[in-house]
Each structure stands twice: as C-alpha cells, then as structure tokens.
C-alpha cells in the first residue's frame, strides 16, 4: 500500500513517529506491507517548526492508498495549490487522514463536509466554527469516518496509524506493532482508553465486545449479566471464556477500567472527586479510594496533587 505523508510548512517532526508504525508493521510482517513517501505541494526541502529540513517529492498523478497531512503547532495556512492537489488526490485514495491540526487542511479541501472529525482540544471549537457542516468531537483520540481519519493530537497520530494497520491487517499485527513501539493500543474510543485494554486484549471478539461495552458504560452497574449479554453468551459461558482469554475476572477488569478512567479525570480536570467517582461507576469516593489503593497504592487525592498544573486543564 502506497502511503503519502503530506508536509505543511512548519510541520512537527513528531509526525514521523506516527508513520514509523508502518515501517514497524513491515518488519513484524517480514514483508513490505506499506511504502511511505514524503510529499509537499512543490517538492524539495520543507522546513519543520524546529528548523529541520526534509526532502519531499512533489504531488504527481501516481495513486496513493492513503494520504496523511501533517502540520505544526498553529492552524496551518492552506495554499490554493495544496488544497487543489489534495482534493484531486483524495478522489483516488482509499482514505485521507490528518494528524492534529492537519484537520484544518482537510476542511479547507472540503473533505470534512458532513463528516465527524477531531483535532487538538485547544482548537476543536475553532475547527467547528470554521467548518460548521463537520461534527467535531474533541473527546476522541482519533476518528475514522468512512475514508476520512483525523487524530486529536501529535502523539495520537500514532494511535491513528496503528488503527489503520489494524483495519488493514487485523488485530494481531496491530497489537504486535503497538508492543514493538512500546505504546498503548486501541485508544480508539476516547481519551479514557489507555493501557488497561491492551493488558486485557483478547483474541475472542465476544470478550473484546464486552470490554468495549464496559468501557463505554462505566457509570452503569456492569453486572455479569450485563457483560454476558453484550458478548451474546450465558453468564456462565462468559465468565469462563473471559477468564481464559484475559487471565482475570470480569469484576477485576471492570475495576481496572474504572480506575484508569478516573485517574485521567483526576489528572486532566478539576471535577470534585465525588463527581468523578460517580462518573466512572464507583458508588462513592470511599469505594474509589479503596480501588485506587489496590491498583496504584495511592489515594485519588495524591494522584491529583502529583499531576500539578495538568489537573487544571
């Protein structure tokens, strides 16, 4: 599959970390699954935000399976030429993506019209205001709406690429790439999803379906009956299959998911601890405190204090 990484002037070099996942996939597969080319509007050297210059190829008539737009730390200025070239290339590409603020370039090209998309949370409202026909969701790590993929931030671009690899070649190779890059896997459902689902990752689709259901409904009671129904199994069958696939019980898995979601809220918000406890499904702050002590050996207040300024976001 031919991949085109489209660089905007003043791009962030971290975008190369995202597309490195394609190279890792090649290595893990033992064959060339992806051929990555670096492109720009006119070709030649393109300077990054840090001053590093990268040699690029110009757009040509060659078809690309996937185009990925990389920008910098500010909303990029989309030249008429780049918009025209991207719009034309998108007609032949299977999918078009943007890392972080590259979503504004896709919007200028008309590719976000009627689509769901995301971008860095600081600029989500600006994206919505500029492209009102696009439904912007700032709570997602990345969004794939048909052929249009967008990521929430720079590092989320790597999650986006791993998501593409999973879509192309299945969960086994995607999981192998994620582990090879020492990263979290399947952060596709929102910012509350981190390493717990990688640790619990199951080959059995019914177990994975139950885990996804639990993650999306943490505020609910999430009984064995609820999870078994999501997996389309009887409670006894589900409990036995879940333990064999994950090595733990459904109750402990749900607690781990709740603790992880609560930890992120503690670090990235100023919501009262009692509110966070209810939001993630703990009946009260005392139950959440006991769960944190078991999982992290620390109480929620200590974790919030350690987060420092991040907790004011």
Query: Which DSSP state fits 138?
Result: T
Whether residue 139 has pLDDT greater than 70 = no
Backbone φ and ψ of 93, nearest 5°: -75, 150
- Distance, in Å, from the CA atom of 310 to the CA atom of 126, rounded to the nearest integer, reads 22
Amino acid 197: pLDDT: 58
Neighbour-count burial for 286-308, b at 16+ CB within 10 Å, e otherwise: eebbebbeebeeebbeebbeebe
Percent of the chain at pLDDT above 70?
91
Q: Decide if pLDDT at 178 tops 70.
A: yes
| Residue 39 pLDDT exceeds 90 | yes
- Given a cut of 90, whether residue 236 has pLDDT beyond it is yes
- Report residue 296's pLDDT band, with 50, 70 and 90 as the boundaries: confident
Predicted local distance difference test score (pLDDT) of residue 153: 83
> What does the pLDDT average to over 185-203?
51
pLDDT-based confidence at residue 22 (cuts at 50, 70, 90): very high
Give the whole-angstrom CA distance, residue 64 versus residue 62. Answer: 7
Quick one: pLDDT at residue 191?
Answer: 42
Mean pLDDT, to the nearest integer, of 116-130? 93
- Give the Cα separation of 235 and 241 in Å (integer): 10
Q: In what order do the strands lie in the sheet with 44-47?
A: 44-47, 53-58, 35-40, 2-7, 66-70, 95-99, 148-151, 142-145
Residue range 284-293: average pLDDT? 94
Percentage, residues of the chain above pLDDT 90: 65
**pLDDT tens digits along 77-101:** 999 989 998 898 888 899 999 999 9
Report the SS3 class of residue 79. Answer: coil
Whether pTM > 0.75 for this model: the answer is no
Q: For residue 175, name the pLDDT band (cuts at 50, 70, 90).
A: confident
pLDDT the model gives residue 199: 64
Residues 60 and 6 sit within 8 Å (Cβ to Cβ): no
- Rounded to whole angstroms, the Cα distance separating 274 from 103 reads 36
Total count of residues recorded for the chain? 313
């Amino acid at each position: 599959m031919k991949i085109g990484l489209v660089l905007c002037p003043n791009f962030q070099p971290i975008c190369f970390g995202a597309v490195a996942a394609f190279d890792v996939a090649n290595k893990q597969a033992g064959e060339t699954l992806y051929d990555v080319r670096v492109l720009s509007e006119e070709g030649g050297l393109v300077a990054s935000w840090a001053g590093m210059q990268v040699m690029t190829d110009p757009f040509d008539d060659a078809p690309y399976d996937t185009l990925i737009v990389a920008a910098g730390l500010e909303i990029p200025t989309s030249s008429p030429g780049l918009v025209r070239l991207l719009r034309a290339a998108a007609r032949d590409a299977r999918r078009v993506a943007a890392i972080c603020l590259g979503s504004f370039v896709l919007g200028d090209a008309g590719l976000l019209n009627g689509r769901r998309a995301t971008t860095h949370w600081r600029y989500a409202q600006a994206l919505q205001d500029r492209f009102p026909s696009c439904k912007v969701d700032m709570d997602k790590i990345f969004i794939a709406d048909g052929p249009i993929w967008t990521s929430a931030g720079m590092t989320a671009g790597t999650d986006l690429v791993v998501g593409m690899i999973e879509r192309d070649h299945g969960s086994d190779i995607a999981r192998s790439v994620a582990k090879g890059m020492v990263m979290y896997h399947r952060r596709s459902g929102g910012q509350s999803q981190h390493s717990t689902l990688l640790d619990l990752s199951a080959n059995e689709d019914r177990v994975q379906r139950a885990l996804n259901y639990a993650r999306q409904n943490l505020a609910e009671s999430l009984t064995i009956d609820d999870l078994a129904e999501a997996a389309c199994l009887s409670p006894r069958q589900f409990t036995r299959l879940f333990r064999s696939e994950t090595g733990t019980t459904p109750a402990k898995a749900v607690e781990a998911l709740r603790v992880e979601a609560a930890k992120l809220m503690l670090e990235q918000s100023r919501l009262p601890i009692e509110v966070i406890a209810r939001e993630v499904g703990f009946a009260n702050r005392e139950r959440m405190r006991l769960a944190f002590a078991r999982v992290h050996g620390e109480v929620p207040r200590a974790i919030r204090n350690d987060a420092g300024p991040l907790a004011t976001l």
